[in-house]
Structure 1
C-alpha cells in the first residue's frame, strides 16, 4: 500500500527539470529504476523539489500541471467516465494505483454543495503535497469537462505558505486555511457535468485493468479495506467499521481470520503507523491522541509504549535529533 506509481513520481522530476531545480542525479536514478516507488523515496523527491525551489507554492504548481497519464491506468479510467460525479466516485476507489499517500472522499454537503476531501498519510512536506493533490483535482476536473468545472473554494488544514493573493492569483479560486479538513468545494450540480472523453467500452476495459491492478496491490482484500476505514475513521470500533462494510462485528472477525488477521491487530498496526507519521509533524501529543481516537494523552502513551517500548515524546525527540544531526539515507548512499 505504501508505494507510488512511477509515472506520478516522473511528474515531479519533469517539473523539476522544466523549472531548473537542482535535484540529485542519484535520487533521479533511484526514481527511474523502479516501476513502483516506496513512499519514503517519493518523500525524498518532494523534499528535494521544495528545498531547491524558491517558490513556496511549488506544490500547487505541480498539481496544476498534472496530466491524466501521470495517474497511469487510473487517470485514463477517470477520463472515460460519463460524468464528473462518476469520475470522482471512482477516484476514491482507484487512488491507491497512483500511490498510498492518502485517501480521497467525495462528500455531498448541505446547501447544494459537494466536496472532495483528502486525508494525507505523509511524513514530509505535507502542506505542499496536500496542495498538489487538491490542485490536481481542480486541474483534471477542468480538463475532463472541457473547462466547464468550477470550484468555489479550497480548504486547507495548514497555514498559508504564501500570501492569500498569490493563492487566488494562481488558482482562480478562494483558499481558506486552518480548516477542519483538506477539501475542494464546488456546487453539487457540477457532479452531472459530462466528460468530453466519455467512452463506455473503453471505460469497461480500463475498469477491468484497474481492478486487476488493485488486486495485485492487495487493495481489494477485506483486511486492506478494514485498514483503509480505520485510517479514515480512527475513532470507530469494530462494530461501527463492520456496519460500514455491511457486516456484523462477529462476521468481520471471522472473515479477517480467514485472511490471517484480527481486527485488533489491524487497528493496532494502523494506529501505530499513523502515530509514527504524525509524530514527525508539529502536532501536539494531545492533539495526536485525539485524532487517533484515544480518550486522552495518557491512553495514547500507554498504547504507544506497547507498540514500540518507548513513549511518543521520547521517540519524537529521537526523530528530531536524527533529522538535525544524521545524514540522509541518500547522502549515505552517495558517499
Structure 2
C-alpha cells in the first residue's frame, strides 16, 4: 500500500482556509465537508499536514457543487486570519512586499509543493507567474483562487489598492469575466501560456502593516524546522531542479559535480536515483531552462541576457534551444506577446 510522504501532503492551513471559507459563504454543506473527512477548521494544528488528495477532493467537490460563477475568485478574496499557517504567518511579518513575496516563493513547499511561483523585473515592471500541477486533479477554479488570493494578500498586507496592469490565465475565457476585471484589471489574457500578473515593480517596496522583526525571527525558526522535515522526503528530481534554478539565479555554473556536492552524494547514486524516476541530469537542466526562458522572455528580457543567465556558451545556442522548444525565435515570440 502506498504511504503518504511529506511531498504528498499540504499544510492543514491550505485546506483549513478553504473549508472555513466554503462554510462561511455557504458554498458546501456540512455533510459534504464531513464526507471528505475534514475536521473543524478552528481545531486543526497549523503544523499538521494532510494528504494532498484531500485538498484536491475538496476542490473537485466544490466545482461539482456549482453554486455560481467565480467561486474560486471569491474564495481567494476571502482572507481568514484564524486560518493562517506557518508560511502566511511568516510572510505577514516581512518588512515589505518584496521580502514577503520572496519568502512566499522560496518556501511554498510549506503550504503546497504542487504550487510554483516566480517573479522577474524589467524596465520598472514585475511579472509574477504561477503554476499548479493540474495532473494532480486540480480544477481551473483552484488556479482562480490562488491568483485571486495573491492580489488579496498583497492588498491586505500593504493596505494599498495594488493595481494590476495585466493578468493572464492558461484556461479559456469563462462566461463570467466581470469578477476577473474587478479583482485584477481590464487587460485580461485567457488561453495564455502561463498564469501571470504584471504590475509596477515599485509596488514591491510597499511596507507590510503587520511587520514585526521579532515575530519574523521566531516564526522563521519554526518554519525552517518544518522545511527540513519536508526536504528529507523531497523527490530527488525536485532537489536537483531547485539546485539548478538557484545556480542560474546566482550566476554560477551548473554541473553534475555541483549537484553532487550540494546534495552530498556520489555521481553513481545521483544517476541511479534519477533513473528510477525515468529522467537524467541533462533533461532536468533542459526543463529548468525552458521554464525560465519563457518567464524571462515574457518579462521583456533581452535574448542575450537570458542566454547568459541560463548558462549558454553563446546566444546562438540559446536561439536554437528556444526554437526547438517553442517552434519560433525569441524575437518572434516577443513580438507576438507584445
TM-score greater than 0.5 by the shorter chain? yes
Counting only pairs closer than 5 Å after superposition, residues 312-327 of structure 1 correspond to structure 2 as none
Work out the CA distance in 2 between the residues paired with 1:224 and 1:199: 36
- Tell me what 2:18 maps to: 12
Pair 83,221 (structure 1): closer, same or farther in 2 beyond 3 Å: same
- Cα-to-partner distance string for 1:22-46 (whole Å, 9 max, x where unaligned): 3524434345689312111111110
Work out the CA distance in 1 between the residues paired with 2:129 and 2:181: 20
Work out the CA distance in 2 between the residues paired with 1:71 and 1:270: 37
- Tell me what 2:256 maps to: 249
Pair 244,250 (structure 1): closer, same or farther in 2 beyond 3 Å: farther
Q: CA RMSD in A?
A: 3.3
Work out the CA distance in 2 between the residues paired with 1:268 and 1:44: 29
- Cα-to-partner distance string for 1:183-239 (whole Å, 9 max, x where unaligned): 122101111111111211221221111111111111797947535549xxxxxxx8x
Pair 10,137 (structure 1): closer, same or farther in 2 beyond 3 Å: same
Are 2:167 and 1:154 equivalent residues in the alignment?
yes
State TM-score, norm by structure 1.
0.69
Contact kept, 8 Å, 1:157 with 1:177, in 2: the verdict is: yes
Are 2:122 and 1:116 equivalent residues in the alignment?
no
Work out the CA distance in 1 between the residues paired with 2:15 and 2:120: 28
Pair 132,261 (structure 1): closer, same or farther in 2 beyond 3 Å: farther
Work out the CA distance in 1 between the residues paired with 2:25 and 2:209: 31
Q: How many residues align?
A: 266
Gapped regions of structure 2 (runs ≥ 5): 1-6, 281-321, 326-338
State TM-score, norm by structure 2.
0.68
Pair 264,179 (structure 1): closer, same or farther in 2 beyond 3 Å: farther
Contact kept, 8 Å, 1:74 with 1:94, in 2: the verdict is: yes
Q: In the TM superposition, what is the alpha-carbon distance from 1:48 to its structure 2 partner?
A: 0.5
- What is the DSSP-based 3-state SS (H/G/I as helix, E as strand, rest coil) of the residue aligned with 2:199? strand
Pair 261,89 (structure 1): closer, same or farther in 2 beyond 3 Å: farther
Are 2:72 and 1:65 equivalent residues in the alignment?
no
- Cα-to-partner distance string for 1:47-106 (whole Å, 9 max, x where unaligned): 001111322311111111134553412111111111111111111112111112211112
Contact kept, 8 Å, 2:73 with 2:144, in 1: the verdict is: yes
- Tell me what 1:24 maps to: 32
- Cα-to-partner distance string for 1:131-171 (whole Å, 9 max, x where unaligned): 11111110000000012422222211111233323421454
Within the candidate set 234, 249, 273, 1:265 is matched to 273
Within the candidate set 112, 125, 147, 2:138 is matched to 125
Contact kept, 8 Å, 1:4 with 1:98, in 2: the verdict is: yes
Pair 143,223 (structure 1): closer, same or farther in 2 beyond 3 Å: same
Pair 139,12 (structure 1): closer, same or farther in 2 beyond 3 Å: same
Gapped regions of structure 1 (runs ≥ 5): 231-237, 273-292, 297-335
Comparing 153-162 with 34-43, greater Cα deviation is found at 34-43
